[in-house]
């Protein structure tokens, strides 16, 4: 093989190598462009899922009618349920996520502890409490902390005591 042929073969190998590199680069760029073109559709789908979950949550909250039209009314209903020993009903005045914890809080409670608890609740029910600016959260801070929120159906629920 003469020197010219060797140079030609070398140039061919360089050309093939550069062609392969170019094809890989074009493929990677094309893939990235394709992925970016899918982002708006993925974002739209994610927004649809979020909207659907929010609507399901709103429907669930709208169906929950345990509670009063005012924070004080809900607290009164809760106190009455506790006084009657109906802890299942008492727990229904709590927001959905805190009901089990509320039910568990009555396990093993002595008569004396329940009596003291009811006294604190009665004292708290006579306090004015504070609303937030949007009038959808309410709290009493003495003699015990009570936080409440307004559900979309106009019913007040207890967040925590």
**Ordered DSSP codes for 56-123:** HHHHHHHH---SBSSHHHHHHHHHHHHHTT-HHHHHHTB-GGGHHHHHHHTTT--HHHHHHHHHHHHH
Q: Residue 1: what pLDDT?
A: 62
Q: Residue 2: what pLDDT?
A: 75
Q: Residue 3: what pLDDT?
A: 78
Q: What's the whole-number mean pLDDT along residues 9-37? A: 88
Phi-psi region of 63 (alpha: psi -120 to 50; beta: other; left: phi over 0): alpha
68 phi and psi angles, rounded to 5 deg: -110, 175
SS3 79: helix
User: CA neighbours within 13 Å on the CB side: how many for 109?
Assistant: 18
Q: For 103-149, what is each residue's pLDDT tens digit?
A: 999 998 999 999 999 999 999 999 999 999 999 999 999 999 999 99
Mean pLDDT of the chain: 92
C-alpha distances out from residue 95 to 35, 44, 73, Å: 42, 31, 15
pLDDT score of 6 more than 80 = no
Q: What is the pTM of this model?
A: 0.71
Q: Residue 93: what pLDDT?
A: 98
Percentage of residues of the chain with pLDDT beyond 90: 70
Q: What's the whole-number mean pLDDT along residues 28-46? A: 86
pLDDT score of 18 more than 80 = yes
Q: What's the whole-number mean pLDDT along residues 65-89? A: 97
C-beta of residue 78 within 8 angstroms of C-beta of residue 158: yes
């Amino acid at each position: 093989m003469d020197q010219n042929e060797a140079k030609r073969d070398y140039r061919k190998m360089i050309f093939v190598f550069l062609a392969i590199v170019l094809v890989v680069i074009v493929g990677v760029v094309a893939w990235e462009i394709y992925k970016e073109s899918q982002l708006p559709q993925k974002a739209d789908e994610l927004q649809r899922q979020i909207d659907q979950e929010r609507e399901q949550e709103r429907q669930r909250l709208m169906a929950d009618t345990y509670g009063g039209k005012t924070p004080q009314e809900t607290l009164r209903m809760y106190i009455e349920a506790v006084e009657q020993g109906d802890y299942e009903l008492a727990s229904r005045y709590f927001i959905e996520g805190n009901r089990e914890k509320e039910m568990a809080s009555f396990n093993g409670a002595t008569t004396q502890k329940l009596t003291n608890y009811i006294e604190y609740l009665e004292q708290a029910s006579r306090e004015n409490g504070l609303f937030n600016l949007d009038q959808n959260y309410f709290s009493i801070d003495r003699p015990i902390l009570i936080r409440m929120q307004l559900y979309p159906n106009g019913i007040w629920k207890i967040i925590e005591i």
